Structure 1
């Protein structure tokens, strides 16, 4: 019996490691590419699409789960830096596979003044190659895409440090805007 259990554990580990390898080989968006369009509901049930933000920079950040330590820290840093980001003509949009109701509680609890979108089926995260599809659940990877006013991807963040991510984006926006002038 113990041998059977060990065998099944080994099979599961090989499957998970194989999936991680496969997932890391998925094609990714590239800088200069058009950002994929989306249409998702916010905490109040209103639809938002990327085209709604034409003419502005968009900080499109995907995060795993509402009200978890890393996601809370990242969201609160965006909240605290929002005026600096808006002065740089940027809008912040957070996306996870959590529901509108979950986003509403999260936004109210931490006074988040920016848009959170519910990607319940993970389709938008998948389009941005920011979805981890585990056997029984899906979660968004902690990826951020900086999109320019013409809806082009200008920066991709795959290795996000939640402690300084919003400041990193502010610095990158300043550099992008300085080189554009």
Structure 2
């Protein structure tokens, strides 16, 4: 019984920490996307300006090799040709380091950059940083950025498996009205 009470208290504490964790404000649709300049898993500097003139799917995820993050990354991998055929690129972001990203990308054959946002600056600028039990993590949020560098769509607390399909549908819709 004591173990059950302790687990219940830990669960309550974790939920409180998730709710009370400070995060900066999410960018809104129409707003200029926050700049970034961060190394990816291959040691290549990735900047928002590299994607000027293209649609960009910027997705944030908590941690390499966790079940939900692996599901989401593999779903983007499996749909990458559909996304690229819509003139869009995919970039993943977490607070893991480049070597963790390199192993993750290699193991799962991920054909897109993973930004090593070790200090959380990109996650913070996109309102997607959180602290959980003393650890900094990225929130599972996704942003579609249009070819002019403006936020076109915001997804908060996404479903890891469904998000790429939602993005593809919204890219079709956004491009028909853009």
Give the TM-score normalised by the residue count of structure 2.
0.88
Structure 1 partner of 2:128: 130
Q: What is the CA distance between 1:27 and its match in structure 2? A: 2.6
Q: Which runs of 4 or more aligned residues in structure 1 lie more than 6 Å from their structure 2 counterparts after TM superposition? A: none
Q: What is the CA distance between 1:135 and its match in structure 2? A: 5.2
Structure 1 residues 91-147: Cα deviation after superposition (integer angstroms, max 9, x where no partner): 000000001000000000000001111000111101111000245310000000100
Structure 1 residues 14-50: Cα deviation after superposition (integer angstroms, max 9, x where no partner): x9737724637x5321100000000100111110100
Structure 2 partner of 1:17: 16
Structure 1: runs of 5+ lacking an equivalent: 1-5
Equivalences for residues 84-99 of structure 1 within 5 A: 84-99=82-97
Structure 2: runs of 5+ lacking an equivalent: 1-5
How many pairs align?
A: 170
Question: Which protein shows a greater Rg?
Answer: 1
Q: Cα–Cα, structure 1 residues 121 and 56, in superposed 2: closer, same or farther, change >3 Å?
A: same
Name the Cα RMSD after superposition: 2.2
Give the TM-score normalised by the residue count of structure 1.
0.87
